[in-house]
Amino acid sequence: MNKTIAGFSKLSKSQKIDWIVKTYFSNAEGTKSILKQYWNTNEKLQQLHDEFIENTITNYYLPFGVAPNFLINGKHYTVPMAIEESSVVAAASKAAKFWLDRGGFKTEVISTNKIGQVHFMFSGDYKTLNTFFERVKPKLITDCNGITKNMERRGGGILNVELVNKTEAIPNYYQLHATFETLDAMGANFINSCLEQFAKTLKEQAALYDGFSETEKNIDIVMSILSNYVPDCLVRVSVSCPVNELSETEAISGRDFAEKFVQAVNIAEVEPYRAVTHNKGIMNGVDAVVLATGNDFRAIEAGVHAFAARDGQYRSLSHAKVEGDTFTFWMDIPLALGTVGGLTGLHPLVKLALELLGHPSAKELMQITAAAGLAQNFAALKSLTTTGIQQGHMKMHLLNILNQFEATAEEKSKLIKNFKDNTVTHSAVVEALNKLRSKA
């Protein structure tokens, strides 16, 4: 069967579905039923979802949960989280509750600058190009006045534009490296619009510049695009308490726990194989908040991992130390977030999430998100260095296994009791479920 199609985007939603199920699925009606059961019965809301992206055929749901008891800079939050992975919300909530009575999370925004670049090729002399750039730089900025007017009124805009010589990496390659402040907006469209105007002005002015030869006048613009690497859009988050307050049971003293915890973090700072998983745990918390608040988690992920490797080796984002009788756990993380624009004013659950957080500014959302990441990391390391990660994680995963085998409410109730004091593994759950059903 031919599995290619011309003009797919021009088909109606029902026509797209008809072609998909006819071409790829053996049970057409069953597939249609699955797709349609995730449609929203509110036609206006469904249309809104359909228009977020192209070629929509249904909605893809993620659980939307909350983690209460976050105390951040003396203010209480219940944090929204959208994620499919078991134990993430529970772990963040548990860590938040742990630190609630120990001073909570301390956060500060170190900087909020964002970056964009115009990449271009120039075959002439660098000094000549630099002289031209210094002359044209004011016009690069003034030509963007129409774009930046509203942003400047709110206190943001273009902070600086620099010429960067990259010819050692690629012959004839240069950049306009621009810095922006976008305040509460994510700012992608704003930055990209400015960059494209920079490119247009640069090319036009080069063609008119008397200091260039005819060859030099022909600047070749390769592309103009923002960067998701934002090492100067940085937030710091930390927790701290006396070591004797770290012990919750008699099984391990607070000092022994603190020292083991610090060693675990030190390992992630020097061992990339561990650091990747360590940072993934941080991003479990970060991504869940980023998704719930309508921000771009792919951009955040890319920027964070580049930051973790900024010295040439991939390392832990978080750090820990014991000084005297004080334990401190902290992290610096780049988070370019927004609370206006994008989905923040469109998606009903995003609007709800932001209201739940008290309509935060972008800076406040950066701090909340960083706290969720550090909470998640603390919870994971606490489990790893004490009971082991699987005890808590697999108990949360128990319901997923039972749902996979279509366990009834009664079966779930009995097996949850059964595994309260027993180790949860996939095979053990299946065996227990089969025994239960054989007795029935």
For residues 39 and 89, state if they share a domain: no
User: What CATH number corresponds to the domain at position 72?
Assistant: 3.90.770.10
For residues 284 and 357, state if they share a domain: yes
Tell me the two tokens of residue 84: 């499919």
For residues 120 and 219, state if they share a domain: yes
For residues 173 and 255, state if they share a domain: no
For residues 376 and 271, state if they share a domain: yes
pLDDT on residue 212: 96
Decide if 101 is inside a domain: yes
Decide if 56 is inside a domain: no
Contacts of 85 (CB under 8 A, 6+ apart): 284
Q: What share of the chain is helix, strand, coil (3-state, %, to 5)?
A: 50, 20, 30
For residues 162 and 211, state if they share a domain: yes
For residues 222 and 243, state if they share a domain: no
pLDDT on residue 180: 97
Q: How far is 166 from 177, CA to CA, in rounded Å?
A: 11
For residues 261 and 362, state if they share a domain: yes
Catalytic residue numbers?
85, 280, 296, 393
CB count, 10 Å around CB of 168? 7
For residues 284 and 378, state if they share a domain: yes
The beta strands (E) that lie in 55-127 are given as 64-72, 75-82, 106-112, 114-121
Amino acid at 12: S
Decide if 55 is inside a domain: no
pLDDT on residue 429: 84
CB count, 10 Å around CB of 150? 11
Q: How far is 373 from 24, CA to CA, in rounded Å?
A: 40
Tell me the two tokens of residue 304: 């964070």
Give the pTM. 0.88
For residues 119 and 78, state if they share a domain: no
Our count of domains for the chain comes to: 4
- The residue out of 169, 193, 226 marking a domain boundary is 226
- Domain range for 335: 64-111+231-387
Decide if 59 is inside a domain: no
pLDDT on residue 346: 87
What is the secondary structure of 380-413 as a DSSP string?
A: HHHHHTTT-HHHHHHHHHHHHHHHHTT--HHHHH
Return averaged pLDDT per consecutive 10 residues of the chain, 440 residues in all. Answer: 90 95 94 94 92 94 97 98 94 97 97 97 97 98 96 96 98 98 92 98 97 94 97 97 85 90 97 98 98 96 98 98 97 96 87 97 98 97 79 64 84 80 79 81
Question: Of 56, 55, 54, 82, nearest to 67 (Cα)?
Answer: 82
For residues 364 and 278, state if they share a domain: yes
